[in-house]
Structure 1
Amino acid sequence: MKKILLGILATLFGLFIMLAFLPKFLIIDNFLMKNKVFILPETISEGLLTINLKKSDVYYQDKQLIKKADINLYVLPLSQGLTLICNAKKSEIIHKTFGGFVFNFDNFKCSSDFENVSGKFEIKDGINGKLKLENFNVQGRNVEFLEFTFKGKTFEFRGSSQGINVSGNGIVSFDEKNPLNSKINGTASAVGFNFVISGTITNPQFNMQ
């Protein structure tokens, strides 16, 4: 037990030294790029355990997700995360060292696809929580809102498109190696069209048939 404790302390000390003396953004940026996440800030400043990125654009798999948000990155032994500041509202994405991601959006208005994103959900052995997307376009048709309730390996959703109510359900195909790449598939029948959801939780695709 003593050797294990000493090993943990040595690891934490090594992490502290790395964060104190090395360019942290380059280290984190390399990790993010391996996961196909790219952050392009206008300016960068670093603290002991934090990195502050001003007016940043964020891309995932070559698709822009976030535009001109202030981002604060931090690295701790038990979690790593980023805080998103947009219109004085703070949202947060947390990666837990021993597994799992937590997304908490507080009226986030710096999305490239949606006028507003709100809700809180966790990705760990499935997806649990709620997510609401407001005012976006699907094949030339406006969607006023779409609200998801995730229940592990399944989800329900409801919404409205040009005054027509939409509701349906779907399944989550969880990717243990890359939880952010977990696939979602759902359908709903509405008056005059079928609403289809596909893609991944971080890059959902919407179609009307």
Structure 2
Amino acid sequence: MRKKNLKLLMFLFVGYILFTLFLLAITLPKFLLFDKWLMSKGIYMIASNVHESLTYLSLKEASFYTKKSKLVRFDKLDLSVGIPYILLKGTCADGNLNVKMYLFGGIDIKAKNFKCFENFRIKSINLSINNGIEGTAELLDLKVRDTKVDNLSISFKGKTFDGQGLISGQRLTGSGTLILNREDILKSRLNGTIAGSGIRFVIYGSLDNPVLEIKK
């Protein structure tokens, strides 16, 4: 009898906790939660218009910054909660960027003709991130410190990647390795080399702050 009472008590306690969390989820402002999460990552947001519902947040003319510079802008950015994922859909001019973040791990990223990042343009991206990164990405007008990469195509194969780039009219090819940071994807670290026409570069650092240097 005592065991049954204990099980009933635990059931009621867990039910109360879940119900409380549900009430918090539907009553707390999604915009403020999203803004607070971004600030914990060192990113700041400005939007001209905000609309939210039970499982939906929509921003218009939204821009994102770090303390040093502007990162990206969206004409419209929608965030919605599904089961079991969070979906981000952004548009800018005639381009789009979609990110699906699964609650139990894993991220899918797809983009086409997205031109509103400050330091590069996306021609196409189709990536799946879990224990590694799988898929392809093609970027245009990428600025890496003092070097401009006119075109960069990368094929990710888990913990390695192959790529080719166009720098100052020179076609370069290369490969490298990737150390994935699941807590912050942009802090994942890469290390590789690209070469061609007697020129050899090394690329290293994090995805959000890569370094490209000439290797002598």
TM (norm. structure 2) is 0.80
Distance 2:164 2:69 in 1: 25
Q: Please name the residue that 1:74 is paired with.
A: 80
Distance 1:138 1:28 in 2: 29
Task: Using the aligned pairs only, state the percent identity.
Answer: 29
Distance 1:30 1:139 in 2: 29
Distance 1:96 1:24 in 2: 18
Give the aligned length.
205
Structure 1, unaligned stretches of length 5 or more?
A: none
Tell me the CA shift for residue 132 of structure 1.
0.9
The structure 2 residue matched to 1:98, chosen from 104, 112, 132, is: 104
The structure 2 residue matched to 1:107, chosen from 113, 137, 142, is: 113
TM (norm. structure 1) is 0.82
Q: Please name the residue that 2:174 is paired with.
A: 168
Tell me the CA shift for residue 166 of structure 1.
0.8
Distance 2:52 2:62 in 1: 15
Distance 2:157 2:51 in 1: 39
Residues 1:32 and 1:81: Cα distance change in structure 2 (over 3 Å)? farther
Q: Please name the residue that 2:193 is paired with.
A: 187
Q: Please name the residue that 1:126 is paired with.
A: 132
Contact 1:141/1:162 (8 A) holds in 2:
no
Tell me the CA shift for residue 123 of structure 1.
1.8
Contact 2:110/2:124 (8 A) holds in 1:
yes
Distance 2:104 2:68 in 1: 28
Tell me the CA shift for residue 196 of structure 1.
2.7
- Give deviations 1:181-204, integer Å, cap 9, x for gaps: 211121112335322322323x14
Tell me the CA shift for residue 153 of structure 1.
0.7
Distance 2:171 2:59 in 1: 40
Contact 1:193/1:208 (8 A) holds in 2:
no
Q: Please name the residue that 1:205 is paired with.
A: 210
Residues 1:106 and 1:168: Cα distance change in structure 2 (over 3 Å)? same
**Bigger Cα displacement from structure 2, 97-106 vs 32-41:** 32-41
Q: Please name the residue that 2:3 is paired with.
A: none
SS state of the match for residue 175, structure 1?
Answer: coil
Contact 1:173/1:184 (8 A) holds in 2:
yes
Q: CA RMSD in A?
A: 2.9
Distance 1:171 1:132 in 2: 18
Tell me the CA shift for residue 141 of structure 1.
4.8
Residue identity in the other structure for 2:212: N
